[in-house]
A and B are shown apart, each in its own frame.
Chain A
Amino acid sequence: MSEKKSWFQKLTERPRKPYANPYIGGAILGVTLFLSLMLTANGLGASAIFARINGFLVNLVAPSHVDRVPQLIKVAGGSRNPFNNWITFEVTGLIIGALTASILFGRFKVETTKGPRVSEKTRWLLAFIGGAIFLYGARMARGCTSGQVMSGGASLSAGSWSIGLVMFTIAFIVAYFVRKIWN
């Protein structure tokens, strides 16, 4: 018998709409970044939330260890609450925004996005490895695509532009060697 669909199924089975014009998407992101600097003096960010979650988790397992590691002291040292920071609120908004857009345009679906020639499990492993490398680099560079390349790029930070150039150049070069993953 045909069961009544759950609310979750309904949300994931909405018709998929095409993505927006990237220039329009970019303009929305640009105005958002500008408003962020106008109102809060901060740019956009994302990788910082990883550092704060990491600080929170290490603090749960080994609180005394936190106070010995410079990178952890910054976010969770002493009685510091790692989430008492603007980034927590910005990422909360980011999650709601992404949820709204993906449900609205039918892209809210349990799936694995990958190149046609790799299995799902390989893709998951590569995503984990890539994530680890990326965030190691983002901590080293003191910011990621949003914090450095976009925010620092728009406010004309010399360091941000050098980071962005290196990042894109390397990605294009390595893309050729790993083309089997994606094509």
Chain B
Amino acid sequence: MFPLASINALGKTGVFLIEVLIGFAFGFGLEISGFSNSYVLTGQFYFRNGRVIKAMFTAIMVAMVLIFGSVALGILDYDVIWVDPTYLWPGIVGGLLMGLGIIIGGYCPGTSIVSSVSLKKDAWFFVLGGLFGTFLFSETEPLFHYFYNDSFYGRLTVMDVFHISTGLTVTIFVILAVLLFWLNDVLVRKYAREDSDPFLKRGWVGRVAIVLVAGALIVWAIWPTWQQKWTRVAPKKAPLLEQYQVQISPAELFSSLQDHKTNTVVIDVRDDYSYNLFHLKWEHHIPLNELEAYAPILKKEVKEVPLTVFVLVSDDEGKSTEGWKILEAEGVPNVYILSGGFNSLIMTFGDEDIEKGLCAPAPSSVSEVERLNYYFKGALGDRYRASDLSINDEWAEEMLEKLKFKPKIKLQKPKGVAGGGCG
């Protein structure tokens, strides 16, 4: 499974050696694309040539199709690779300054290094200016430290923002890029004074369009359903279910809710009717058919609050086991199932409610999968004592003393690289 660095297959020296090779291709690619010359580079902004748009968006689209194609095939773990976290407003202000800097200075950081190496004097001044700008930033950042760390959305993807599938997103981006290439050529033909771009021939946009659109459509077509993803992880994960390692007792859920060091998120996967009848206070209600769509949000929660554990509950443990498979297929860490579901929870904590007649054991004591074994007088939601297991009162203290269980929850650190990008 890629990326290789995540499984420590390369070691530190290996990674550094590969970085040199990657840097080599990066520098070579930038130079041959025409970016070792500020006049050629800025030619884009006057449509003397269309090189920046062509090279840059081809690079982004080719990489995008390859990345998500590999993710779809299950050979690349998207949760591990570096996706620049979103700090909206500092990003926008930074983007504004970079736009200004590129047209005044004629380079960006990568191209200024490439041009400096190919002995362009103006690039040497850009690099010196760049060092000065970096110095100014580190000295002035404390003045707006709050702003710099504000509007933080974590690892936010375009799919999270627009709630569309990855395959569709890639296809839309590729089509937009092709339209941009076409418009770019129209404008270059209009404004270029000399034949500065020998690659303006009409055929090129068409060829690029065919390759990219075909790639995006393949990504879209082969994007796996959660069932297909489950088949991939089943050899490793199914034994956990069979050996009963992820089904926690009501007592362990209670103890975890009482322990405020961990962020215990209870997810109720039942339908609305059962939810209204009885549910736990502070829990999240995500019906089973919506659970897959929530997976990215749950993964973000684990990244932001590292000691997060998800406990799926349903009337018994049929639906919650199904939900567990969905979340495991989608790669959500630290997911557990409440063993025996609400049946077992009410049996453990519901004495008082039963005494008050709020609920009563069903006449048949035969437990079926996904049947609540208790009758309720009405839809009382969370107005039961057993509904609020996180409040720490005398009763809770007593219960904590009384209940014994073998702990099964083992918290894992969220996946992902520690640093990356231009950090």
* Contact B24–A37 (Cβ < 8 Å): no
- Nearest B residue to A96 via CB reads B24
A46 to chain B: which residues have CB within 8 Å? Answer: 108-110, 113, 422
Instruction: Tell me the complex Cα distance, A165–B92, Å.
Output: 9
A183 to chain B: which residues have CB within 8 Å? Answer: 46, 48
Cβ of A60 < 8 Å from any Cβ of B? no
Q: Known contacts A69-B142, A157-B157; is A44 also within 8 Å of B118 by CB?
A: no
Given contacts A174-B100, A178-B104, 11 further A-B contacts (CB under 8 A): A21-B204, A27-B58, A37-B76, A112-B120, A129-B129, A142-B85, A142-B423, A148-B84, A158-B157, A175-B42, A182-B39
A74 to chain B: which residues have CB within 8 Å? Answer: 423
* Contact B121–A170 (Cβ < 8 Å): no
* Contact A131–B25 (Cβ < 8 Å): no
Q: Across the A-B interface, how many residue pairs have beta carbons closer than 8 Å?
A: 579
Classify chain A's interface size.
35 or more
**8 Å CB contact of B153 from A55, A85, A89, A159:** A159
User: Which secondary structure dominates chain A's binding surface?
Assistant: helix
**8 Å CB contact of A30 from B66, B84, B138:** B66
**8 Å CB contact of A135 from B60, B101, B204:** B101
B66 to chain A: which residues have CB within 8 Å? Answer: 30-31, 34
A71 to chain B: which residues have CB within 8 Å? Answer: 137-138, 141
User: Which secondary structure dominates chain B's binding surface?
Assistant: helix
**Partner-B contacts on A (CB < 8 A):** 12, 18-51, 53-55, 57-58, 69-72, 74, 85-87, 89-102, 105, 107-115, 120, 123-175, 178-179, 181-183
* Contact A144–B158 (Cβ < 8 Å): no
A92 to chain B: which residues have CB within 8 Å? Answer: 20, 23
Instruction: Tell me the complex Cα distance, A154–B58, Å.
Output: 10
**8 Å CB contact of A158 from B54, B121, B129, B158:** B158
- Nearest B residue to A17 via CB reads B32
Instruction: Tell me the complex Cα distance, A109–B37, Å.
Output: 11
* Contact B126–A130 (Cβ < 8 Å): yes
* Contact B26–A109 (Cβ < 8 Å): no
Chain A min CB distance to B47 (Å): 10
Cβ of B380 < 8 Å from any Cβ of A? no
Chain A min CB distance to B341 (Å): 37
- Nearest B residue to A130 via CB reads B105
Cβ of B370 < 8 Å from any Cβ of A? no
* Contact A20–B81 (Cβ < 8 Å): no
Q: Known contacts A42-B421, A51-B134; is A25 also within 8 Å of B93 by CB?
A: no
Chain B min CB distance to A86 (Å): 5
* Contact A127–B59 (Cβ < 8 Å): no
* Contact B26–A29 (Cβ < 8 Å): yes
